[in-house]
Amino acid sequence: MAAEAPILAVEGISLRFGGVRALTEVTFEVRRGEVFSIIGPNGAGKTSMVNCISGRYQPTEGTIHFEGADITRLPTRKRAAIGLGRTFQNLALFGHMTVLDNIMVGRHHLLRRGFLSGMPYWFTGAEREEIAHRREVEEIIDFLEIQHVRKATAGTLSYGLRKRVELARAVALRPKLILLDEPMAGMNLEEKEDMARFILDLNEEWGMTVLMIEHDMSVVMDISHRVMVLDFGRKIADGTPEAVLADPQVRRAYLGEGDEVNAEVAA
């Protein structure tokens, strides 16, 4: 039986800013239903790659296929509609809006009733549509255990809760592939454990494929099916977490040469 086509296929992606090369001929695949992590030192090109996939950056060379369709030049606003969602390394919430309203923003591309058609609610069904969307949002709020802050202003929340709200907004898109840019950065151990559990549940119970940038190697080892390593904008390894961690080139570039560092991470 032929292997299932990957949900995401990145082929020969290069990205230049003037004379600076952020990415150089990077090729990889993400299989449907997996948690795929991108790791590497600071400045390795991890966020640049996610920005190319999400449409924020246009690659200088190469192609990106999502579910078999070439999306290399597809506008960012259209990628949500085909099933791509993302979070950001730096929080991008509307600080003056409530948690509920921030998450509702993630449903905007699913709304079918415009302003004019929605005016006579009893005739067009816009009221029923809004209720249905709010029901979806409430399900996400329950799942991420943020019921107690659903009416709070997002800007007043702790950092860990704001990261959770941003994840909720991305989940509200109901993406087939969710791109998570350092979802656990700045969190304490308990918050990281909660976020790891949510990501696994999204993958296993909600059926979302996950592409994640993460620096915490213990998290990467625990929840990833496969890992790719970038260094100075080039791919130096990919495979299972165990195989990647054992790669001498990865140990030199990312983990350092010291046996004590490697032994600690491997443990």
- Tens digits of residue pLDDT in 122-149: 455 556 666 777 888 999 999 999 999 9
Q: At what angle do helices 159-171 and 126-143 cross, to 10 degrees?
A: 130
CA distance to 53, 77, 78, 138, 148, per residue, from 56 (Å): 8, 10, 12, 29, 33
pTM for this entry: 0.85
φ, ψ at 264 (rounded to 5°): -65, -45
Distance CA 105, CA 108 (A): 5
Contact (Cβ atoms closer than 8 angstroms) between residue 84 and residue 135: no
Give the pLDDT confidence score for residue 126 in this predicted structure. 56
Could you give all domains of the chain from N- to C-terminal order, each with its CATH number? Answer: 1-83+175-267 (3.40.50.300), 95-173 (no CATH)
- Print the SS3 string covering 177-215: EEEEECCCCCCCHHHHHHHHHHHHHHHHCCCCEEEEECC
Distance CA 133, CA 68 (A): 29
- Tens digits of residue pLDDT in 60-110: 999 999 999 999 999 988 998 899 999 887 667 887 899 998 898 877 655
Residue 249: which residues within 8 A CB-CB, separation 6 or more?
236, 237
Q: How many CA atoms lie within 13 A of 235 on its CB side?
A: 19
Residue 213's nearest CA partner among 243, 182, 177 is 182
Give the pLDDT confidence score for residue 136 in this predicted structure. 87
